[in-house]
Structure 1
Amino acid sequence: MSRKSKRTRARDKRFFESLEKGATIGEAAKIAGYSRRSIYDYSAEDPTFSQQLDDARMDLVEKLEREADRRAIEGVVDYKSLKVTQDGKTISKIVPIRRYSDSLLQFRLRRLDPKNYRENYKEDDLPDDFDDLELEDITQDLGGMLKAFLNVEISHEPAEDNSE
Structure 2
Amino acid sequence: MADFVNAWPTGDGGATIVMSDNAALSLRSLVTRLRTALEPGRKSLPDHRLFPDAYAGKRESEDFRARHGAEMRAEVIAAADRVLAHWAGEPQVTLDPGRLRDWFLVMGHAQSLFRKPNRWHRRRLDRLFSDPRTGEGMEVLWLQRVQYLLATAATGTPAPPC
By the TM > 0.5 criterion, same fold? no
The TM-score range, normalised by the shorter chain, is under 0.3
Higher strand share: 1
What TM-score results when the alignment is normalised by the length of structure 2? 0.26
What TM-score results when the alignment is normalised by the length of structure 1? 0.26
